[in-house]
């Protein structure tokens, strides 16, 4: 059984969905959740789901090898679920095509530094897009530039607010992210 480590910075709804999905499969198991935000609600979710969760700081992530060493022992695959820091090159090199991220837009549109969450949904609304969606992709050294694994679309109307767009994206994330991770594991890891 493959071991998944999830990085999360916020509420943890995607992390919880992934954890629950893999609790009912024999493909993989989520062994740990790592967060850079001591106030992240993902810690509460992990406690309830009985999943180990740890806080780390920027130095242990980028300067020394604390996080890298942990991952090399604990992870076969890494999933970013609402994690906003760029992954250091040394971690990307240690896990080629084994780090998966989800982005709340149809990349390459609305990607890059600062394009996350409501920033993306507001930009989609401001540009009067008629559709948007999610992109699940491999992580490389640059924000949102790794190879696309999967995309799903949803149509938009002129009446959709940024909050409406966020809800449509959340539905797509919950429906597709765990299954796409499982497919990647079955094919490649």
pLDDT value of residue 150: 98
Axis crossing angle, helix 117-126 with helix 162-188, rounded to the nearest 10: 120
pLDDT, tens digit, for every residue of 89-145? 999 999 999 999 999 999 999 999 899 999 999 999 999 999 999 999 999 999 999
| The pLDDT of residue 189 | 55
pLDDT in tens, 44-81: 999 999 999 999 999 999 999 999 999 999 999 999 99
* Residues in CB range of 32: below 8 A, 6 or more apart: 5, 6, 51, 52, 53, 54, 74, 75
Q: What share of the chain is helix, strand, coil (3-state, %, to 5)?
A: 40, 20, 35
* The model's pTM: 0.95
Q: What total number of domains does the chain contain?
A: 1
Task: Decide: helix, strand or coil at residue 186.
Answer: helix
What's the confidence (pLDDT) of residue 73? Answer: 96
Task: List, for residues 10-46, the tens digit of each pLDDT value.
Answer: 999 999 999 999 999 999 999 999 999 999 999 999 9
Q: What is the CA radius of gyration of the chain?
A: 16
Q: CA angle 126-127-130, nearest 5°?
A: 115
Distances (CA, A) of 188 to 2, 39, 83, 91, 162: 11, 34, 23, 18, 36
Identify the CATH number of the domain in which residue 52 sits: 3.40.50.170
Contact between residue 153 and residue 133 where contact means Cβ atoms under 8 Å apart: yes
Nearest alpha-carbon partner for 6 in 103, 77, 109:
77
Q: What DSSP element (H or E) covers 31?
A: strand 28-35
CA distance 81 to 43: 13
Q: Rounded to whole angstroms, how far apart are CA atoms 50 and 55?
A: 16
Question: With bands split at pLDDT 50, 70 and 90, how would you rate the model's confidence at 188?
Answer: confident
Residue 100 lies in domain: 2-188
Whether residue 87 has pLDDT greater than 70: yes
Dihedral sign computed on CA atoms, order 163, 169, 175, 178: negative
């Amino acid at each position: 059984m493959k071991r998944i480590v999830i990085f999360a910075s916020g509420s943890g709804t995607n992390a919880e969905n992934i954890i629950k999905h893999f609790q009912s499969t024999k493909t993989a198991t989520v062994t740990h959740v790592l967060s850079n935000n001591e106030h992240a609600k993902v810690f509460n979710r992990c406690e309830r789901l009985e999943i180990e969760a740890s806080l780390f700081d920027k130095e242990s992530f980028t300067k020394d090898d604390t996080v890298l060493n942990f991952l090399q022992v604990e992870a076969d695959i890494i999933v970013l679920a609402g994690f906003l820091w760029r992954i250091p090159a040394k971690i990307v090199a240690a896990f080629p095509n084994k780090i998966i991220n989800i982005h709340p837009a149809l990349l390459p549109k609305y990607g890059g530094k600062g394009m996350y969450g409501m920033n993306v949904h507001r930009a989609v609304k401001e540009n009067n897009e008629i559709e948007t969606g999610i992109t699940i992709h491999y992580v490389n050294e640059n924000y949102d530039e790794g190879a696309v694994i999967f995309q799903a679309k949803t149509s938009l109307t002129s009446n959709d607010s940024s909050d409406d767009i966020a809800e449509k994206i959340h539905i797509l994330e919950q429906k597709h992210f765990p299954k796409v991770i499982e497919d990647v594991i079955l094919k490649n890891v």
